Structure 1
Amino acid sequence: MGSHVIDHIDMISSLPDEVLFHIISLLPFESAIQTVFLSSRWRLLWNLALIQHGRKEDVAGAVSGFLVNFNEQDPTKNNRKLKFHFDKGHVLLAIIAPNNKLHLDFSSGNQEIFRKYGWELELNQPNLTLQPTPSTFFVKSLYLISVNHLTNEAVSSMVSNFQFLENLKIIECSGLRSFRIESTIKLLHLTIFDCPMLQSLHIKSFKLKTFRYRGLLPWIKPEYHFNLADAMFDSRAGPGYTTFSSCDFDGVLLTIKNAEILTLCKWFFKELVCPSLSSFRSDFQFYKLKELWWIDTSTQDYNNDALISFLKLCPSLERLFVTIDPKGYRTESGTVTCSKQVGKHTKLGHLKVVKLEGFTSQKNEILLAEHLRGILAVEPQILAKADGDDRVRSLERKSAQSYDRNFCFKFVEMEDVKDFCPKHSHMRV
């Protein structure tokens, strides 16, 4: 029998432009940009950009025109990318992504040494001239990348007109030293990542539900004690403000009191949360907290006292993630416990899974498991994953026959971990 040569035809790439644009519009932004690797046809569709030139003062007008002329109902007649060149080699790349997302990226072009600057943003300002129409794109999610002292005023000018904005991300703004944001209507989610010079953060918002921060921790002032459901303080880089005091943190503690998802670093708890607890009644608890990511530093003699003290404040906790980062900031203060602030305490009765990552010693993993026993009324699944090792081990209680005086747990390597190895929500961002 002769061999048959089968030609593999790329049926999808042969579809009309309007169908391909519709497919892209249905994908998450991170997946949509990956379509450039499928074929030259996909790459041409995605990379087609509107190129304009002007001055710094023209940035807001260029973006406004780009958005007003975008027709969400007929994406084949639009450019999703604007590349605006201005003032001595600076470049703004604006990308319209699916689900009403806009990316404003100033990271390309001239990378001069940027000066420090303060920035104020007023969002969702009522504007009766901007009403929804079928052919107009309205920004609900905004990503601001590498805004600097040259461009922050232009960005503030255009953003003030985004009255439907619900989700704001500020990323890698290197010269940003102080930031004040006010939203009286719609802002629900605020993310600030990797702004290394930020020392002061003032938040005035009525409806904020999610706040995620990563980097050196600034002085934070919440204008209103809004109830965050999701709070991330990945401050493993340490403090960015040198004159912290416990009273400075009282407002933040009230803000995160009702959080259901939380990320904290050990030094953050010892230096800020624990001292601030003395300002409140002895029955203070994170009574709604269900998912905690605790970031610690690695020491030869691992001490889990701070973690155990915090867990006593979390009666509803269901999922606990503990990460050891040896490069993280390590406080110089001694062991801190909050037993006086815990007040009446019942053992944790809802904890379902504990996941440990980055521990360099199995002994420390087992010691933590042993100490957890003292505050638990249940037997959670305890998983351990060594740094740089894909294998996941389950810590299980030893049988009565193998019980010894040292430990009550042993390691059992797991083969199928897909259903037993979850990730904390903040580990995905």
Structure 2
Amino acid sequence: RNNKNLEGDQSDKVDLISSLPDDILVYLLSFVGIKAAARTSLLSKRWRHVWTYITDLDFEDPPRLAIAITKPYENSEAGNYADWVNQVIRANQAQYLNTFRMHFSIPFGDKIYASNIDKWLEFACTKKVRNLELHMGTLPTIPIFKNPTFVLNTSLVSLYLTKVVVDGPLLQWVLSNCLKLGRLMLHSCMATDDVFASSKRQKLVISSLTLKHLEIFHSTRLLNTESLHIVAPNLVTLLFIESPTVDLEYVSVPSLVDAAFGGIYSTKLCNGSFLSGLSSQLEKLSLHWFKVPFQACKFPSFANVKLLELSFAWDDAKYLLVSTLSLITACPLLHTFKLKIMLWSQYDYCTRLIPINVNVAQTNAIRTLQRLEALEFVGYTGCEYAVALAYHLTQHAPMLKKFILDPRIPEQVGELSNWYLNYKGDYLEIARSRAKLLAKLIKSSVNVVIL
């Protein structure tokens, strides 16, 4: 533009954003955090109250607050967090809430925040919240989720609880009365002391016509549950990583196509009949195998599984090859296989790059995988059994096109700790160098990607 136009055109000075309707401004603020949204009140009189109408409230857990959970006498960070939440909910003028997400690491043994949490939950449910998430940094000594009247609304579609103490039969009450609930996630939740004082363990029935996604992660034993019964005709995805002492029964799950099982519950999975009831309907199967040598397991044929994920956590790599092959070849329509290798002693096995032989029956079984096109190994460090598995799959699967080798640490599953941190030296570079050596053994028609 020339100088004349620059002098005569004042359009650059017009605040076009502020002239937008309130609904659009509130929508724009939904893409930033609460603190950033609140700071817009300083822009002008037009913006002073816009942020108070946002319907997504995510009170993230400040990093420094995590320190307070180990030092009960230093609770200033927890106090600042509580003050911040209280200020926001007092200012909020929205008629309803789409999301209320709270991350609050209560200092261990500290009960002074119980009334605050009660008030926050009452506020969220009075606003007819649709998505409610409560994430405690540690299991508090007080019941957090305890008042049925808080969730007496027909709007709740998603409930996500992490390390929350649930009072008595409240969970059953929620399932019976929140008739639009589509997602339920319980991670490391537990019952109150009086429930544990009961000598009889409880049966938990999850019965819902609307539930589509269910996650139960290390909670049933803590909830003093003996068995879990699922009656959910519209359930599509299920994650169940639990204690082997808990019985899981699918009474009615005809829509289930995506399932994940594991943790120390792996011992139950060795019973082929457990998975046989789902074998014909699953399209994605994830197994988090923890310290169980399942080479003797008799898996049913998963006739429709196209995506298979296996997290193999064990302290002996010798079970990896035969066990994994038996599972893969049980999926005739398999398209993608992802393996997460978590072996405590894996680093000691990084010495052999000559593939271990497999028998003729195993080779022929691999050749039947006419749909297998993609492989991914996460946590690869050159373990000889992983080398053998990779070599024989890439050598004999007729349609294989891509193989991703990722030496980075897999995310933790279940009881796993940061076991990789005990390794000395630059294991990542060593693993990458061994991945390059493996790539030389793989036929040229397979595209090998090393991350």
When normalised by structure 1's length, the TM-score is: 0.59
Identify the residue that residue 19 of structure 1 maps to in structure 2.
Answer: 24
Identify the residue that residue 349 of structure 2 maps to in structure 1.
Answer: none
* Matching residue within 188, 204, 209 for 2:230: 204
Kept after mapping to 1: 8 A contact 2:175/2:208: no
Q: Following superposition of structure 1 onto structure 2, how do residues 57-206 of structure 1 map, counting pairs within 5 Å?
A: 76-78=94-96, 89=115, 91-92=117-118, 93-94=120-121, 95=124, 101-103=130-132, 105=134, 107=136, 111-112=140-141, 138-150=155-167, 152-175=168-191, 180-183=204-207, 185-195=209-219, 197-198=221-222, 200-206=226-232
C-alpha displacement of 1:108? 8.2
Structure 2: how far apart are the matches of 1:353 and 1:82?
39
**Pair 16,36 (structure 1): closer, same or farther in 2 beyond 3 Å:** farther
* Matching residue within 289, 307, 310 for 2:324: 307
Identical columns (%): 18
Deviation track 1:16-62 (CA, whole Å, cap 9, x = no partner) reads 543233446xx7xxxx574644662386555998xxxxxxxxxxxxx
Structure 1: how far apart are the matches of 2:260 and 2:114?
38
Identify the residue that residue 221 of structure 1 maps to in structure 2.
Answer: 248
**Pair 103,113 (structure 1): closer, same or farther in 2 beyond 3 Å:** closer
Gaps of 5+ in 1: 1-6, 50-74, 122-129, 131-135, 278-283, 329-336, 399-406, 418-429
Structure 1: how far apart are the matches of 2:174 and 2:13?
48
Identify the residue that residue 353 of structure 1 maps to in structure 2.
Answer: 374
Structure 2: how far apart are the matches of 1:13 and 1:298?
59
**Pair 43,357 (structure 1): closer, same or farther in 2 beyond 3 Å:** farther
Identify the residue that residue 398 of structure 2 maps to in structure 1.
Answer: 377
Q: Which amino acid aligns with 2:302?
A: F
Kept after mapping to 1: 8 A contact 2:183/2:211: yes
Structure 2: how far apart are the matches of 1:110 and 1:11?
48
**Pair 203,216 (structure 1): closer, same or farther in 2 beyond 3 Å:** same
RMSD over equivalenced CA pairs, Å: 5.4
Kept after mapping to 2: 8 A contact 1:315/1:346: no
Task: Please give the secondary structure, in 2, of the residue aligned with 1:255.
Answer: coil
C-alpha displacement of 1:356? 0.6
Structure 2: how far apart are the matches of 1:397 and 1:360?
13
C-alpha displacement of 1:104? 5.0
**Do residues 323 (structure 1) and 340 (structure 2) align?**
yes
Kept after mapping to 1: 8 A contact 2:97/2:129: no
C-alpha displacement of 1:266? 3.6
Task: Please give the secondary structure, in 2, of the residue aligned with 1:325.
Answer: strand
Structure 1: how far apart are the matches of 2:276 and 2:228?
15
Identify the residue that residue 259 of structure 2 maps to in structure 1.
Answer: 231
Kept after mapping to 2: 8 A contact 1:141/1:166: yes
Task: Please give the secondary structure, in 2, of the residue aligned with 1:160.
Answer: helix
Identify the residue that residue 301 of structure 2 maps to in structure 1.
Answer: 285
Task: Please give the secondary structure, in 1, of the residue aligned with 2:278.
Answer: helix
In the alignment of these two chains, the number of paired residues is 338
Task: Please give the secondary structure, in 2, of the residue aligned with 1:185.
Answer: coil
Structure 1: how far apart are the matches of 2:448 and 2:398?
25
Structure 2: how far apart are the matches of 1:88 and 1:100?
20
**Pair 163,297 (structure 1): closer, same or farther in 2 beyond 3 Å:** closer
Structure 2: how far apart are the matches of 1:349 and 1:105?
45
Structure 1: how far apart are the matches of 2:275 and 2:448?
41
Kept after mapping to 1: 8 A contact 2:154/2:178: no
Structure 2: how far apart are the matches of 1:184 and 1:293?
28
Deviation track 1:101-120 (CA, whole Å, cap 9, x = no partner) reads 321527389921779xxx9x
C-alpha displacement of 1:212? 1.2
Structure 2: how far apart are the matches of 1:245 and 1:381?
30
Determine which structure has greater relative contact order: mean sequence separation of CA pairs < 8 Å that are 6+ residues apart, divided by chain length: 1
C-alpha displacement of 1:378? 1.9
Structure 1: how far apart are the matches of 2:230 and 2:322?
35
Q: Which has more helix, going by share of residues?
A: 2
Structure 1: how far apart are the matches of 2:449 and 2:269?
45
* Matching residue within 273, 281, 285 for 1:258: 281
